[in-house]
Structure 1
Amino acid sequence: MVRFKKTVDWSLYVITDAQVIGGRSLTAVVESALRGGATVLQYREKKKSTRAMVDEAMALAALCRTYHVPLLINDRIDVALAVDADGVHLGQDDMPLRLARRLLGPHRLIGLTVHHREEIEKAQQDGADYISLAPVFATPTKPDHQTPMGVDGLRRLMTWVRCPAVAIGGINAHNIRDVLQTGVNGVCVVSAILGQDDPERAARTLRALIASTPAS
């Protein structure tokens, strides 16, 4: 698989969620989002067996190769290696980043969710390829999240960022331009695309808003 290390377009980062997708086909919904312009895909699954995860991730890897979009696996380094994904995304309670790097090698992407200055600085010291600043707004897809920082809080955190950064948490067509004007490299979305009846159209709408937002 082609490695994207230095050439990632972080602007529209889509994360899967089985509850948001509902009874629809995961691959069909994801392909619709990719057709609409999603630039990064993260496969996030917390409840299925390892075998089921590998099967789903393998199908998503094939789609991502077709659309030339990097595939990241949430938390599960074993699944990422099994399907030759482009990297992983880690939370603060997951495997330490430096150990993940040792297992994945220098060429795969590793991202880390961060919430405040200290976590940002440690992630950068440990060699994160990108960070996810969370949460900007409240979101039902992760009800146990920390207190939302809002756009002003996001802008303050960006003063400490020296690597690619994406924002996550309750981002949609109504607030995406305000989020982008803080200087982030992109936005992470779940329900704003995958929860819509027409994910392709939803992705195209967000892509248009991204393209029309002036650089900060």
Structure 2
Amino acid sequence: MPKVDYRLKALVDAPLGDKTNLADLARTAALSGATLIQYRDKTNSTREMIEQARAIGAALAETGVPFVINDRVDVALAVGADGVHLGRDDMDAATARSMMGDATIIGLTVKNEMDAQTTIGSPIDYACIGGVYDTLSKHNPDPPVGLEGFARLRVTLLAAKPDLPVGAIAGINVQRAADVVAAGADGVAVISTIFAALDPAAATRELRAGVDLALREASR
């Protein structure tokens, strides 16, 4: 059984904190159906990241939903997070695994065939392919891979690691969640679909229900 339930990863992005409390957002998503929470912060100092990550971790402590830190192995270790999500410019997964231990969750971003090949040889617990669609949540210098690109990269990973959970990220709403699951995704990762909604709890429940329905249909 995979270590990670990747049906719905909610990314709590630092800029959201300009309008509301990130820890509260993370807890709301976790209690409403998110199966994995990721804290992403590209701008704040290490000290500020640690303080924020501790607050998020405390808010999630009784939910049972794992919590990973984007990019920063040092922050994840400092706050006792459940794991880390790494990109192509971050610490390699093997080094992260040696530092964090076998029980830690380690995920990788896959944007192209080279990333997919790196993933195949890495000691990871999930991969996330994308961006699949355009997104306003971050600047992405790489063009979207689209559904065909997602499916192609998914096949590459499936051939070598058939039990590896693989998610899809960027520009995903309820309808697109059904599309990426049909293309082979085990789940989705989102920011705006949940946290830009007027009711993040309701948006989380709707998206989780959509993913679950798509997974049931894909398994028939």
Tell me the TM-score range normalised by the shorter chain: over 0.9
- Counterpart CA distance in 2 for 1:145 and 1:203 is 28
- Which residue does the alignment assign to 2:22? 26
Letter paired with 2:119: A
Displacement of 1:20 after TM fit?
4.0
What's the counterpart of residue 100 of structure 1?
96
The structure 2 residue matched to 1:16, chosen from 12, 19, 34, is: 12
1:171 aligns with 2:167: no
Local SS of the residue matching 1:106: coil
Q: In structure 2, which of residues 32, 42, 47 is the aligned counterpart of residue 46 of structure 1? A: 42
Kindly indicate whether residue 218 of structure 2 is the aligned counterpart of residue 215 of structure 1.
yes
Which residue does 1:198 correspond to in 2? 199
Match of 1:130 among 102, 126, 129: 126
Kept in 2, the 8 Å contact 1:15–1:189? The answer is: yes
Moved over 3 A (4+): none
2:71 corresponds to which of 72, 75, 87: 75
Alignment check: 8 A CA contact 2:14 2:42 kept = no
Looking at structure 2, the residues matched to 215 and 98 of structure 1 have their Cα atoms a distance apart, in angstroms, of 33
Q: Equivalents in 1 of 2:211, 2:94: separation in Å?
A: 33
- TM-score, normalised by the number of residues in structure 1: 0.92
Distance between the aligned counterparts of 2:2 and 2:150, measured in 1? 24
Secondary structure of 1:137's match?
coil
> 1:93-139, CA deviations, whole angstroms, 9 ceiling, x for partnerless residues?
11122211121122211111111223112212121221110110000
Q: Give the partner amino acid of 1:174.
A: Q
Query: CA separation in 2, counterparts of 1:117 and 1:144?
Result: 17
Q: Work out the CA distance in 2 between the residues paired with 1:149 and 1:189.
A: 16
Question: Residues 24 and 59 of structure 2 are in contact (CA less than 8 Å); yes or no, is this contact kept in structure 1?
Answer: no
Separation of aligned partners in 1, 2:21 and 2:111: 33
Percent identity reads 40
CA distance in 1, matches of 2:28, 2:35: 12
Gaps of 5+ in 2: none
How many residue pairs get aligned? The number is: 212
> Hey, what's the Cα distance between the residues in 2 that align with 1:211 and 1:6?
17
For 1:87, the equivalent position in structure 2 comes to 83
**1:194-213 deviation digits (Å, cap 9, x = unpaired):** 12121100000001111221
Superimposed CA distance per residue, residues 4-34 of structure 1 (whole angstroms, 9 cap, x where no aligned partner):
x944211000111132454111122222211
Structure 1: distance between partners of 2:59 and 2:25: 11
Check 1:86–1:110 CA distance in 2 against 1; reply closer, same or farther (3 A cut). Answer: same
The Cα of 1:66 is off from its aligned counterpart by 1.1
Consecutive unaligned residues of structure 1, counting only runs of 5 or more, are: none
After superposition, give the CA deviation of every residue in 1:174-201 in whole Å (9 maximum; x if it has no partner): 3110011112111000111012121100
Structure 1 residue aligned with 2:155: 159
Residues 42-91 of structure 1, C-alpha deviations (whole Å, 9 max, x = no match): 11112112222111111211222211011100111111111111110011
Aligned-residue CA RMSD (Å): 1.6
Deviation, structure 1 residue 145:
3.7
